[in-house]
Structure 1
Amino acid sequence: MFSRVTHGNESTVTEFLLAGLTQQPELQLPLFLLFLAIYLLTALGNLGMVTLIGLSSHLHTPMYYFLCSLSLIDLCQATVIIPKMLVSFVADKNITSYPECMTQLYCFIVLVIAECYMLAVMAYDRYVAICQPLLYNVIMSPHVCALFSVAVYIWAITGSTIHTGLILRLDFCKNNMINHYFCDVIPLLEISCSSTYVNELLLLILSSFNIMTPFTAILASYIFIILNILHISSREGRAKAFSTCSSHLGAVGMFYGSTIFMYMQPSSVNSMGQGKVSSVFYTIIVPMLNPLIYSLRNKDVKVALRKILNCRKCS
């Protein structure tokens, strides 16, 4: 799958150098410690959520089923990106082979597309729970939840296969320096010595579809949710509901805003320096914050956590 062919006398690239987040020596150690701490928090938060949901029977509902899936996606995404990123802060050269780079690219695209649609599914679940509570158990049956999850992953794998397949057809000649901290589509297109017109066109089309379709679904779901909340007679109830919605929309806005900035603008105006900063949000910051935003502010999660901790004390 990853074999490279030499055309004529051109030498093809068998490994890449990752430039990393910054080249300033004085920032290398502080950034290493910062992102190591972020990775540990991300792993602890998301693994904790998966474990808590698995052990607490009263959390075995569609909402927490999808939250568990989101936590697994975030954990895998952080693991695909951050460990390799940390190498760039402590090593003279962060070298990655061609197969390793393509594997990281494939896994990353699967996970980022899956997160786009899983967030939309979670928003739809909340819409049904708040706006159609009497039909909730019928609409969000275990069979429907399983179909949603399977559809999300099938589409994510399909999208990643298309993008990675298009990258595999490109040639990489003398320039093997990827101006990024991981193998991503746009930095790879920048160093290819082949024509990238088809890649850039499909990247814009598919990125627009995979970002705007779920984002529109999320926006529509929350508009209906907010309209429903306005009919709540209790001022305290409205304030609590709006607080929850605003925190969720904040996380969604950060994720989609950074992905839109990275993938939905013409390559001629796309600055790779700004792209790195944008990528940090949806590859590193959002996976760390999601367990806090979607769960730790939730009363059911706090109750489940107390029960488990009390059981451990008793034992």
Structure 2
Amino acid sequence: MIAPLSIPSPDEQWRILVEIPVPWGVIPIHTYAICILIGMVLAVIITSRRLTKRGAEPGIVIDVALWAIVLGIIGARIYHVLTHPNDYFAGQEWWRAFAITEGGIAIYGSLIGGAVGVFIGCRITGLRFLSFADALAPGLLVAQACGRLGNWFNHELFGQPTDLPWGLEIESSNAAWPQGLAEGTLFHPTFLYEIVWNLIGVAVIVMLERKINLRWGKAFAIYLIWYGLGRSFFESIRVDPSEMFLGIRVNVWTSFAAIVLGIVLYLVQRRRHTGDEPSPYVPGREWKGPDAEVDSDEIESDSDSLDDGVEGENDPQGETAATSPSRTTS
């Protein structure tokens, strides 16, 4: 019997918003993909505003986000395939491991791949990796909350049976439906739990930043701890199949690793850096806005360097003074 406050699952027709005709058939645009896309856009906007307030060039987040998104998607697929090997290597066609349009990505894989992308993007733009990670932390939680909403549209990743009034309604024909359960059984809405947990995490990080110094990677450390704690619980009550290690789901182990990494990062950075972060850029790569004031001594120095360079062209023994841009754009 369905509880009066139970959460219904969306109709099947909402899984695909539109189908785009192409010469070889149609390309379905899934609601889940739209949720992820919205999350990416929100994360970019939030991160950009936070970076700009800290002295970064407006719009520079795009240079990093392009790398992070592409490698994040690749990492999400690789992680999913490696943690669900029976779905792809047990008598299945090998090419299905690359058929991402059939579904199958993992948040932890996207975090690993995205981190590699952020590292590359930061090296190109001159941003500090941990400074970017600090600015990204709240937006990342918002993006993950949007992605969990997509799980609701897909009728997937729900939790164990529950008698709570806010249980999630799932059709008994669902591939993850536990055998032997009666029709109308309700399940923990883990997608909703994680959405709420992530949004609370945003508030926690923002409030802590107003009270203590969370620069130098410490805001990102709080993110790792917060997300790891929540995910370790939500993952443990899910009923979908997953690889196990020592009787515990692999993603739970990964959550534990995130918590440990966050704790170590916070403690190390708190000891190494007690003051404010001078700039989100590495030394020598700082960005100077068009309204930045230039001292007269600096103008004279630049003029002298230019004169030295001209003389060096006429004098084989002279040394040409080189000037370097404040930031390299990708």
Normalised by the shorter chain, which TM-score bucket? 0.3 to 0.5
Could you say which structure has the greater relative contact order, defined with CA pairs below 8 angstroms and 6 or more residues apart?
A: 1
Q: State the TM-score, normalized to the length of structure 2.
A: 0.34
Compare CA radii of gyration and give the structure with the larger one: 2
- Which structure: greater helix fraction? 1
